[in-house]
Amino acid sequence: MLLERIYDEDLAQASYFIGCQAKGEAIVIDARRDVSEYFDLAARHGMRITAVAETHIHADYLSGTRELAAATGAQAYVSGEGGEDWQYGFDANRLNHGDTITLGNITIEARHTPGHTPEHLIFLVTDGAFSTDPGYMISGDFVFAGDLGRPDLLDEAAGGVDTRFEGAKQLFSSLKHQFLTLPDHILVYPGHGAGSACGKALGALPATTVGYERTNAWWAEYLAKDDEQGFIDELLEGQPDAHACFGRMKRENKNGPQVLGPLSPLEAFTSDQVRSALEEDRAIFVDTRSHDQVKQGTVIGALNIPAGGKTASFGAWAYDPEQQKQALILLAEDQQQAETMRNHLMRVGIDRVTGYTISLADLPQTQPATITPAELEDFEPALLLDVRNKSEHAQGHIPGSLQLSAGRVLWHQDQLPSSGPIVTYCQSGVRNSVAASALRRQGYDVRELVGSYAGCSAWKQSH
């Protein structure tokens, strides 16, 4: 048996490629939308992808299940659990508790583990060439290394009302009646790692075991004492902000994301073409440089979505494809970098990248407004806005600031003043630049605090 983890550092998301070498067949579980890496793996190992499956209706990225099934002709499998409200809206094989998928010597059994979501499944994997018992678990957003999938996302991102309490109870039951009934040796492969917003304290380890979590996880003592209420209280306390884009992606994943098919190479635009598209409001310019470089000057109306490790995350904060219909033109070093960025943006449902340019020259530019900590002392903004997470704000903030995380500002403009300057800050300036660029496109007068919270704190200590 072959089992490989494909990890996206951007979204802290893992998908899994499991193959039977004897039969040359493979399944991909929780695929992302840019599917070329799965084809590369299949070709490298001489396998065909004959099945694709997912553990639940995801909120933090757009699923590639339909994309990969369409590209390969593979059978698609999704959960049939969770009740009428949690049924998928596209054609696929429905899996219920105890159903199996067979690939040569490999048996994959679905187990219903509600809590993070009502329809959530885990997959127990048995390598029949080696054993008659399962040895591996693809745990999705049920059990992570050192943590659990949060049960409050349906409230935070899907419009639920107090569903977190029932979800927490279900999670306690799933642990008690499913996870802890398994032998200690089973290897657990979670759907996310450190940095994901799907839990509050995810570990960075790529895998764990049932026995290790049973002994060491924070929740183990509550299960050992059968203390459901204590478990619920600690589980729900201190969960991170849920990004507003989660609601959109939850809906799209339930209904079935658009299948894009083979992608055409991105076109290199001249400055004249870019300028014309911007003047006619057919496109939005995306400045992919660092926030420090952007402060020196950028294209008027540009979004700052830095290239590198968090392109998908930042893109989903700054651009709402349900409201903003213009195409995106990326600033990129070359076609390869532009297409890599396009792939990342596709993972969060941003599909309108139409081309790229390699230079800002001859484009209308401006210098984003800033304010220093010294200037802020004598300045009275209409709003002082902290775009960090609520947990960071609770640990320390500039007095008088409103907390509204960068992943939520575009969707909560009702909390912003209709006129007057807004001063924004994060911890070091990166998230602040993304959020400020999005707000400027909406017409707000935004001034970014130089050095953000860290710089302001250092300035106050020296004065």
* Sequential pLDDT tens for the chain (463 residues): 999 999 999 999 999 999 999 999 999 999 999 999 999 999 999 999 999 999 999 999 999 999 999 999 999 999 999 999 999 999 999 999 999 999 999 999 999 999 999 999 999 999 999 999 999 999 999 999 999 999 988 776 666 677 889 999 999 999 999 999 999 999 999 999 987 777 766 778 899 999 999 999 999 999 999 999 999 999 999 888 889 999 999 999 999 999 999 999 999 999 999 999 999 999 999 999 999 999 999 999 999 999 988 999 999 999 999 999 999 999 999 999 999 999 999 999 999 999 999 999 899 999 999 999 999 999 999 999 999 999 899 999 999 999 999 999 999 999 999 999 999 999 999 999 999 999 999 999 999 999 999 999 998 888 8
- Same structural domain for residues 183 and 305? no
- Same structural domain for residues 83 and 216? yes
Residue 208 covered by a domain: yes
**Residue 218's closest CA among 245, 193, 200, 240?**
200
- Same structural domain for residues 223 and 169? yes
What are the Cα distances from residue 257, in Å, to 36, 65, 89, 261, 286? 17, 9, 10, 12, 24
Residue 135 covered by a domain: yes
**pTM reported for the whole predicted model:** 0.94
- Same structural domain for residues 344 and 400? no
Residue 260 covered by a domain: no
Q: What is the pLDDT of residues 112-135, one digit of tens each?
A: 999 999 999 999 999 999 999 999
Residue 122 covered by a domain: yes
Residue 262 covered by a domain: no
Q: What is the pLDDT of residue 211?
A: 98
Domain boundary among 366, 398, 421: 366
**Contact call for residues 16 and 28 (beta carbons, < 8 A):** yes
Beta-bridged to residue 108, according to DSSP, are: 101, 125
- Same structural domain for residues 91 and 231? yes
User: Where residue 382 sits, what CATH number does that domain have?
Assistant: 3.40.250.10
- Same structural domain for residues 207 and 297? no
Domain boundary among 366, 398, 414: 366
- Same structural domain for residues 186 and 309? no
Residue 237 covered by a domain: yes
- Same structural domain for residues 300 and 155? no
Specify the DSSP element, H or E, that contains 436: helix 430-441
Maximum distance among all Cα pairs of the chain, rounded to whole angstroms = 73
Host domain of residue 47: 2-255
- Same structural domain for residues 49 and 177? yes
Question: What's phi and psi for 431, nearest 5 deg?
Answer: -60, -35
CA R_g for the chain:
23
261: left (phi over 0), alpha (psi -120 to 50) or beta: left
User: Where residue 90 sits, what CATH number does that domain have?
Assistant: 3.60.15.10
- Same structural domain for residues 226 and 295? no
Domain boundary among 199, 224, 255: 255
Rounded Cα–Cα distance for residues 450 and 447 (Å) = 9
- Same structural domain for residues 277 and 232? no
- Same structural domain for residues 136 and 271? no
Residue 261 covered by a domain: no
User: Strands 25-29 and 13-20: what pairing?
Assistant: antiparallel
Residue 398 covered by a domain: yes
Q: What is the pLDDT of residues 285-339, one digit of tens each?
A: 999 999 999 999 999 999 999 998 899 999 999 999 999 999 999 999 999 999 9
Domain count for the chain: 3
